[in-house]
Structure 1
Amino acid sequence: MVAGSVSNEVMSQVAPERLWKAIVKDSPNLMPKLLPELVSSIVILEGDGGVGTIRQSNFTSVAKDFTYWKDRVDAIDDQKRVFNYSVIEGGLIGKKVKSTSFELKFEPAADGGSVCKFNAKFEPMEDSLPTEEVTKEIMEGMTGMFKAIEGYLLANPGAYA
């Protein structure tokens, strides 16, 4: 089977510790608050947020291709600020891809901000790589959510400090 991946690196003025707390530790509360037009809720179905936790993200009608996805936390390293998860149901699973996994990594930048690295790996439905349009869609979704959280943190310097 042919596998694909797409990566992006984003510079942020926000310190890695704050991004980690907001994006990884508190996304079930923060995402519906910041993006109510897209994310209606994020519910922990089982687990405590650590490895093996299953979450369901529910989306509004703005998400044209799906209404929800369930993901599983595969790895979480608070010291290195690396978070891995896999979408196990819903989303683009069964429509455009057979499987999708993500890695988020937050590293300190020289200016006190962060270098945020996003990587998505996927197994396409067919024996060929997904089109550039599909890979762009995957990365734009991740980057858009990141930018919403970053904007909130910049506007609220005391949040997640």
Structure 2
Amino acid sequence: MLLALLCLTTENSSVSMSQLISGKVELQVSANALWKCLSKDLANLLPKLVPKLISGVEILDGDGGLGSVLIMRFQSDAGDSYQKEKIVEMDDVNLTMANEVLEGGYKQMGFSYFKTRFQLKEISASLTSAECTVEYETCGPQMRSPEEALQASFFIVKTMEAYLLSQ
């Protein structure tokens, strides 16, 4: 209850406390192939690639592109665990996408605002740099760190890399 009150107070405050954390990883696949997995096939691939983590992804509104709202359901012994996200940036030319958490997930872990942004850059035909930036605002004690979120994002793209290399 106290965390919810802290979050409500922070969300209504006019003072923004956004923070950023970012990192890069190189992947042994083409930028276009990885982009297709990340932007076009995400809802279908995630439950198949990480079934012990994600039980399902459903597009609630939109076509999976910019402005779409999706819900990720996580495997959890504690009951219904989910994260609802909105795709707030998608650029097929610059291979950039960003998702903002609307409810559940990080919003239940001490963050009043949480956005993950990916940008892929082709280094060569079979080498891609994936930069991930996490932008967040806190509203009390965090159950997960932004660094853990960054590492989870890299885990997802590394899993996609392994999938693409196995095809």
Identity %: 27
Where structure 1 has 5 or more consecutive residues not aligned to the other structure, the ranges are: 157-161
Q: Name the residue aligned to 2:132.
A: 118
Q: CA RMSD in A?
A: 2.2
1:12 partnered with 2:23:
no
Kindly indicate whether the alpha-carbon contact (under 8 Å) linking 1:29 and 1:42 is maintained by their aligned counterparts in 2.
yes
For normalisation by structure 1, the TM-score amounts to: 0.86
1:60 partnered with 2:78:
no
Kindly indicate whether the alpha-carbon contact (under 8 Å) linking 1:4 and 1:121 is maintained by their aligned counterparts in 2.
yes
Q: Determine helix, strand or coil for the equivalent of 2:145.
A: helix
Q: Name the residue aligned to 2:121.
A: 107
Instruction: Name which one, 1 or 2, has greater alpha-carbon Rg.
Output: 2
Q: Name the residue aligned to 2:145.
A: 134
Q: Determine helix, strand or coil for the equivalent of 1:8.
A: strand
- Aligned residue pairs: how many? 152
Q: Determine helix, strand or coil for the equivalent of 1:139.
A: helix
Alignment of 1:1-161 (within 5 A): 1-61=16-76, 67-110=81-124, 112-126=126-140, 134-156=145-167
Q: Determine helix, strand or coil for the equivalent of 1:109.
A: strand
Dislocated runs of 4+, deviation >6 Å = none
Kindly indicate whether the alpha-carbon contact (under 8 Å) linking 2:25 and 2:131 is maintained by their aligned counterparts in 1.
yes
For normalisation by structure 2, the TM-score amounts to: 0.83
Q: Determine helix, strand or coil for the equivalent of 1:86.
A: strand
User: Could you report, residue by residue, the CA deviation over 1:120-149 in whole angstroms, capped at 9, with x for unpaired residues?
Assistant: 1000014x9x69x61221111111111111
Where structure 2 has 5 or more consecutive residues not aligned to the other structure, the ranges are: 1-15
Deviation at 1:111, TM superposition (A): 6.2
**1 or 2, which has the higher helix percentage?**
2
Deviation at 1:61, TM superposition (A): 1.6
Whole-angstrom CA distance in 1 between matches of 2:124 and 2:161? 18
Say if 1:67 and 1:94 are closer, same or farther in 2 by CA, change over 3 A.
Answer: closer
Kindly indicate whether the alpha-carbon contact (under 8 Å) linking 1:69 and 1:90 is maintained by their aligned counterparts in 2.
yes
Kindly indicate whether the alpha-carbon contact (under 8 Å) linking 2:30 and 2:124 is maintained by their aligned counterparts in 1.
no
Code of the residue aligned with 2:110 in structure 1: it is K
Kindly indicate whether the alpha-carbon contact (under 8 Å) linking 1:95 and 1:125 is maintained by their aligned counterparts in 2.
no
